A and B are shown apart, each in its own frame.
Chain A
Amino acid sequence: MNERKIRVLVAKPGLDGHDRGAKVVARALRDAGMEVIYTGLRQTPEMIAEAALQEDVDVVGLSILSGAHMALVPRILELLKANGLENVKVFIGGIIPDEDLPRLKEMGVSGIYGPGTSTEEIIKQVRESVKN
């Protein structure tokens, strides 16, 4: 019997075109033994929620550098819920000002990582979040 693999969707919502960070994280999660579905740039919230449904992922990782997180994240959370995916954990990486952190957490975001976060830290928290 196959072991249960952690499946992660890595997506970049919004219009900024810097996907280096998303790729680094995707690669690190792969090396940690996870199955990473990489969807690439300029994803709409609808595309992300639909991909999360089709791929039955445990975790959605969003990379946002455009500053549009307060518009994009609530919409994505709402659509995930509408798809019956309220148990899917959402992580954000990118440039997120400190003053937005509490509100994002309140909405249900499981982890927020700025520049300089070690990939080990992200892997550890993704693993823990899935356990619960």
Chain B
Amino acid sequence: MQLAKELLSGNRLALSRLLTQVENDTPEGRSALIEIFPHTGKAHIIGVTGGPGTGKSTLVNQLGLCFRKHKNPKVAIVAVDPSSPFTGGAVLGDRVRMRDLAGDEGIFIRSMASRGSLGGLARATAGLVQVFDAAGFEIILIETVGAGQAEVDVARLAHTTLVVEAPGLGDEIQANKAGLMEIADILVVNKADRPGVENTLKALKSALELAHPVRHVFQHHGQVEVVEAPDQAEESSWIPPILKTIATDGSGVSELIVEIYRHKENMRESGDWAARERSRLGSELDAMLQEALVFGFREKIPASHYEHVLDKIIQRKLAPRDAVKTLLNGGSK
């Protein structure tokens, strides 16, 4: 309780300690989250995801600098790196790329290990974001684990999701695959000084056009043909822009910030912000409900009964789905 009060009064040490309590899911962390919840809902949460080595940390570093220069908001950064599935240990190295942000009291960086989660974030990431939100950070940048193709949890947590690509990592088919590309609100081609950048831009652009068809006018066997966009194209008011950046020297980053603010404006006007808040908090509620129900239910089943049912499954006398029915009905078949 004490930590939550000190957090709200702006104490940075209390903030840091509370982040640890929430990350470790301690009773103190849980009750603090309840206490601070009314103070959340103000921050613009921005997810930054993409493959390993595309330059996410370096880009986040530049975004932090640039946000501070533009409108001077308080900026929090949650940087997630993978835990070892074998030892549970982790080397969290995102700070190495964020040294330019040191010495600015308006920036707070917290590194997080994924602790066994597979969606590109850690289980407690949403909780940490709430703590920063309540502490008055207006911009919260979440950097995911170097995501492969399906680590898309960040899109459920963030208002604006940046997907970072770099030249030379894949062709058009990669760009058409399901997953990462679908969650992008803004596509960033980083390392734009590298060879192959034009190909990457082209591949992303054509993949994007499949997702968001537009009216096409082109020459086909000498004739001018027009392909009208299908009707549903009208519905989506936001077509993800593709931007080039060079995060090592900051090129393209202020343009990126302009797009991030433009996305926020667009969401506010279209009602998408409210819709995202609803689905964001809804999926959080679902996850908690599931956890609580399963935990509560498992507590009520005597361990011996559970083991007995499990034995039957192992002996192939009971299919798992039947076992679930048996357990839910409280029967002891």
Contacts and interface: CB of A to CB of B under 8 A. Distances in A.
B21 to A, nearest CB: 9
Interface stretch (A53-61, A65-73, A95-103): A53-61
The size class of the interface chain A forms with chain B is 20 to 34
Contacts of B36: none
B239 to A, nearest CB: 37
25 contacts: A1-B25, A1-B26, A2-B23, A2-B24, A2-B25, A26-B91, A27-B91, A30-B87, A30-B89, A30-B90, A31-B89, A32-B89, A34-B89, A36-B89, A36-B92, A37-B111, A39-B95, A46-B102, A51-B102, A51-B109, A53-B12, A54-B109, A54-B110, A55-B111, A56-B16
B156 to A, nearest CB: 21
Given A54-B109, A56-B19, A4 B24 contact: yes
A34 B88 CA distance: 7
A81 B124 CA distance: 29
Contacts of B19: 56
Interface in B81-111: 83-84, 87-93, 95-96, 99, 102-103, 108-111
Given A50-B102, A56-B17, A56-B19, A35 B12 contact: no
Given A38-B95, A47-B102, A33 B88 contact: yes
A83 interface: yes
A122 to B, nearest CB: 14
Most buried by A among B23, B91, B108, B124: B91
The size class of the interface chain B forms with chain A is 20 to 34
Interface of A: 1-5, 7, 26-27, 29-40, 43-44, 46-47, 50-51, 53-56, 83-85
Interface string B1-44: 00000000000110011011001111000000000000000000
B263 interface: no
Contacts of A50: 102-103
A34 B92 CA distance: 11
A5 B113 contact: yes
Contacts of A56: 16-17, 19-20
B95 A30 contact: no
B74 interface: no
B99 A37 contact: no
Given A39-B95, A47-B103, A53-B12, 20 more contacts: A1-B24, A2-B25, A2-B115, A5-B24, A5-B113, A5-B115, A29-B89, A31-B87, A31-B89, A32-B89, A33-B89, A35-B89, A35-B92, A40-B93, A46-B102, A51-B109, A54-B108, A55-B16, A56-B20, A85-B13
Contacts of B124: 2
Contacts of B99: 39-40, 43, 47
A54 B91 contact: no
Contacts of B96: 38-40
B90 A53 contact: no
B302 to A, nearest CB: 22
Contacts of B91: 26-27, 30, 36, 38
Contacts of A7: 20
B110 A55 contact: yes
A38 B16 contact: no
Contacts of A51: 95, 102, 109
Contacts of B13: 53, 83-85
Contacts of B92: 35-38
A52 to B, nearest CB: 9
A83 to B, nearest CB: 7
Nearest to A40: B96
Nearest to A83: B13
Given A30-B87, A53-B16, A35 B113 contact: yes
A42 B19 CA distance: 27
A40 B96 CA distance: 5
Contacts of A43: 99
